[in-house]
Structure formats: C-alpha cells, structure tokens
A and B are shown apart, each in its own frame.
Chain A
C-alpha cells in the first residue's frame, strides 16, 4: 500500500508539472510513463497512471489563472475568471478555489463511477452521432455568452475558428482541403490545437506587453496583494448547485466517447452563466465561473473511465493510453471487467480517491509560493514562458518544427485580432469544437441515408435543440440588456 501511495504522489506531482506547462498534457504524461510500468504489477501501475491523469488535468489551472495561458485545453474557461482575479491580487484565492473545486469535481465523478458505471455506459452507447453533433453545437453556444457587447463579432470569430479547424485532410474520404501545395505534409492533420492555443494566449500576450514596454508584472497597476480578498470556504457559499451541476456535466461528457474535456468545461461555464444571479460578473473575475470550469474538467476523470471499464471504449485521449496499461498485463477491459476483476475494480476506485486527495495536498499547501509568480516582472517571466511554450509545441507531435512556427503565426494572428476587435476566446472555442462538429454531422447524415430528419425527431435531440435555442435566446436577451444598461450609464 505504501508503494502505491508513493507512486500516486510521484504521478500526481509529475502530472501537475505536465499540466502546468502549456503544451504538455495529461495524455502525454501517461504516455511517457506507460513504458515505465512494464516492471510494475497492474495495481501499482494504475496508482501511478491515475495519479498522472488526475495531476495532469488539475495542473492546467495554475498557468490559466496566473498568466492567462491555459496549461491544458480543458482549462480554457478557468482563465476567464481566474486570471482577472489574479490581476487584482487574488491569485492565491483563485488557485485555492480552483483546487478545491477540482477536488469536488473529482470526488463527485468518482461517486458516479462507483455507483452507476454499468447503467451509464449502456445509456452512453445510445448517443449516436446526431446527439454528439448537437452536444458539440450546444457547447458552441458558449461563444454567444462570451461575446457580450459585440455578439456578431464574437460569433464571426468562432466560425473563423471552425473554418481554420477544417484545414487539412478529412479522414472519412482522405481528401485535403484548404492546404497550399508546399504545406501538404505539415498540414495533413491540420493545425494542432496546442500550438494554436499557446500562440493565441501566451505569444499574443507577450507581443501586447512588449508593445507597452514590459513595464509591469501580471497584476493590475496600483493593486496591493496584501489587501486582496483571501480564500475561505465561504467562497463556496451558494455554489453547491454550481459545483454539483458542473461536476455531473463533466462526468457525463467524459462518459461520451469522443467528446473532450474542453466541451465539458465550456458547457459547464455557459450553464453557470445562465443560472447565475449575476451573469454580468462572469468573465470579470467571479469565483462562480472558476468553480464551474474546474469542477467540470476534473469531473471528466471519473466519467472517462466509465466507458473504458464497462465497454472497453476510452472516453478521452488519456484513457485511450490507459488501455495500454491493461493490455500490458493481459487484462481485457469491457462488459465483464468489473464482474471478473472485482479486486482491481476496487483498487481503481481507491486509487482515484487517493489521487484526488493527494492532488489537493500537493497543490493546496504550496500554493502561497506558486501564486507569487504574478509578482515576477513580465520582462523576466516572458522569456521563460517562451522557452516552455517552444518545448510544449515541439512535443505536440513528437518533433515537428512546423508546430513551433505555428506559435509565432498564431501569436501574430491573435495580436492582430485584438487590434481589430475580434475576440480570441470564441476563435479558440470554434477551433476546438469545429472538427468534431463536422465529423459527427457527416457521420449522422451519412448514417441516416442523407436525411436531416433524425436531428429533429430523436427524443434526446429534441431536448438538446430546446436547450440550444433557450440558451441562445437567453444570450441574445442578456446581450441586448447589457447594451441598454451601457447606454443608460453613458447618458447618466
């Protein structure tokens, strides 16, 4: 047991490092360590790999909050509220809220995994390409919520992101589109998410700071961190519905194979905004948004294991690598796994529980020190961020220099977009979801004899349409209300 706990500690700590470096992901951490588990039995190997998984997902919140660069795609929404908090000197509070929400998300998803795995897995396979397309579409509605004040520009930015995500080869017919002849080999698989994400956030910010002369640190001018609001459990007062809803959304998204963690946090964030008493505060540094994003992306960890262990289908890219650990030990995951491997199943649950608490311990207590990063001068911090970004971008496809050039290209693009008033967050969301949107649409239409009827007749699809229309209607109304209030404020 002690060995298992020690391995979980190592896994969580290394996972956090991978999650915290932009470009490095939990999947990469698990993939790197998988060969090292050859020498271990399955149970200690699982403790190590689950530690890497939980740590990798959780670590992404650190750079998202402190320097507004999401460490992982699933922490994109964390920065929307976490970074404004850090800018006003509440970095430590934001990190502690994020870590606590992560723990809660992880525990709730674990409870779901322990109690509901077989029935949930049976339900998940009823979700066809039609429903998956509509879920992705639903996740895209967050663009409308994020584009308050300039909705048309935000939506345009989102669709430009979708368009960019379609560059490259469509695997269904192996044909290329929108690729110049001289870039055919580099762009066969299209632009990679991580270089784009790092370029749009980190490199763009570096250019913006360089334009201003690199004078400040990551905090707003005149902010005294000593007077900033401190973390207390009261931050979660009135947030329990948000925590449970976001965790369950994350868990459910994890259960659906092929729907990633980014979609989970986007949907949770948009729902937090919809149901919030003060939706206008989300995006300006409200703990509510941070809680939604972090509890949902950690909710994913238990959810993604549901289809893996009960159907043999990985819920996300990291669990796809985890299958390797079972295969190495000659264990078949699938419908009979829990029945035939009761002891291993119990160990997985205990390991996941322990890893969540270890993650909390490893991150929560040294956070005072970590949060000091915001006090470092931008002039000293950006060169270091830059070299880490290069490592991350280069490692995306194990050594493609084109991905490193993409950092610069998307950094410049993000800088130009900020200058012409096109928001970058909707662009990134469009890019993240675009490819899946196309894939599930084509699969759905071809699988239903080129008919669009199933999109409007299947019961789950109807529910999803109602949600999409209701949320869009709410966003448009909220946007109009915001504009009216702005005008009234200007008149006063």
Chain B
C-alpha cells in the first residue's frame, strides 16, 4: 500500500493527502470539543448574536483604506518607478494613518463639538512627504545603487 502511494508517479500526493487528513481530523476534534463545551455551558453551538468579526467601533477608514492603498501600491509598482511609487504611497499611508487630512470634513461631517476641523494639517503633511522622499530615495540608493539588488 505504502509502496503504491510512493511510486514515482504518485509520490507528490502522499504528503499533501496525509496532511489534509490530519487537518480534517483536527477540525473534527475542535468541533467536538466545542460541542461538548456548549452542552456543558448550555450555550448554542452556533451563536452569531454577540459575534463581531471587527472590533466594535473600529476605524473603518484606516483599515479599508490601508487595504486598498496597499493593493494599489503593488498594482502600480511595476508600472511606475520604485521611487515614484514609494513617494506617492508612503505619503498616502502617512496621510491616512496620521489624520493630517480631515476625512470627516471631506465627507461633510463635523467633530463631536459641532465645529469643523481644519481640512489639512500642513505640518503633518510636510513631515509625511519628507519621510516618503527620504526613505524611498534612501532605500533605492542603498539597495539598487550600492548593493546592486533588483528593485521594482
């Protein structure tokens, strides 16, 4: 049986199938453990009532924004130069994470006190651009020019 499985033409499936079977057994074991625990505690097996995938009140703009920006960064990286992509996206990530542009005001909202916040915090924006330029150019110089490592 083992010999049949490990013949040259089949051997590449032996380990993946064995591992998948072990994973299946472990999933069943986890489900049984959960069923027993729920029975003991008198709670339903599936309970979506108090389940939150995201933390309550999570920062939607930063989470989804970082996901979209990262995907865009990778998509545009081979199309524009490493330095250009770095400057644009590191600046955008800084802007997104440091709130130096007031997104709430952009969408016509006011802060808790009812006052409109300044649209752009210029100092933070300048720092964002400086960081982006320094690191993009610095990494390019160090790795591409000095160490001759391929960069996008």
Contacts and interface: CB of A to CB of B under 8 A. Distances in A.
Interface of A: 17, 28, 32, 152-153, 155-156, 159-160, 162-163, 166, 169-170, 172-173, 175-178, 203, 206-207, 210-214, 377-380, 382-384, 386-388, 390-391, 394-395, 398-399, 401, 404-405, 407-408, 411-412, 419, 434, 437-438, 441-442, 445-446, 450, 452
A213 B60 CA distance: 9
A153 B16 CA distance: 19
Interface in B32-67: 33, 53-55, 58-59, 62-63, 65-67
B120 interface: no
A152 B30 contact: yes
A408 B71 contact: yes
A11 to B, nearest CB: 13
A399 B63 CA distance: 28
Contacts of A159: 19, 22-23, 26
Nearest to A166: B16
Interface of B: 2-3, 6, 8-9, 11-16, 19-20, 22-23, 26-27, 29-30, 33, 53-55, 58-59, 62-63, 65-67, 70-71, 73-74, 77-78, 86, 89-90, 93-94, 97-98, 127, 131-132, 135-136, 139, 142-143, 147-152
Contacts, number: 155
B151 A394 contact: yes
Interface centre among B12, B16, B22, B136 (most CB of A within 10 A): B12
Contact of A156 (B2, B8, B30, B142): B30
18 contacts: A32-B149, A152-B26, A152-B29, A206-B66, A211-B54, A211-B62, A212-B58, A213-B58, A214-B59, A378-B97, A379-B97, A384-B135, A386-B70, A387-B86, A394-B150, A401-B78, A442-B6, A446-B11
Contacts of B67: 207, 412
Interface centre among A206, A405, A419, A437 (most CB of B within 10 A): A206
A162 B3 contact: no
A162 B19 contact: yes
A379 B91 CA distance: 11
Nearest to B143: A391
Contact of B11 (A173, A383, A390): A173
A156 B143 contact: no
B11 A398 contact: no
A175 B15 CA distance: 13
B11 A170 contact: yes
B62 A210 contact: yes
Interface centre among A394, A398, A411, A445 (most CB of B within 10 A): A394
Contacts of B59: 210-214
B74 A408 contact: yes
Contact of B93 (A382, A411, A412): A382
B151 A173 contact: no
A211 B15 contact: no
Given A212-B59, A383-B131, A32 B54 contact: no
A30 to B, nearest CB: 12
B9 to A, nearest CB: 7
A154 to B, nearest CB: 10
Contacts of B77: 390, 401, 404
A391 B139 contact: yes
Contacts of A17: 142
Nearest to B144: A391
Contacts of A404: 74, 77, 152
Given A163-B16, A408-B71, A446-B6, A153 B30 contact: yes
A412 B135 CA distance: 25
A442 B151 contact: no
A86 B97 CA distance: 22
A156 B30 CA distance: 9
B76 to A, nearest CB: 11
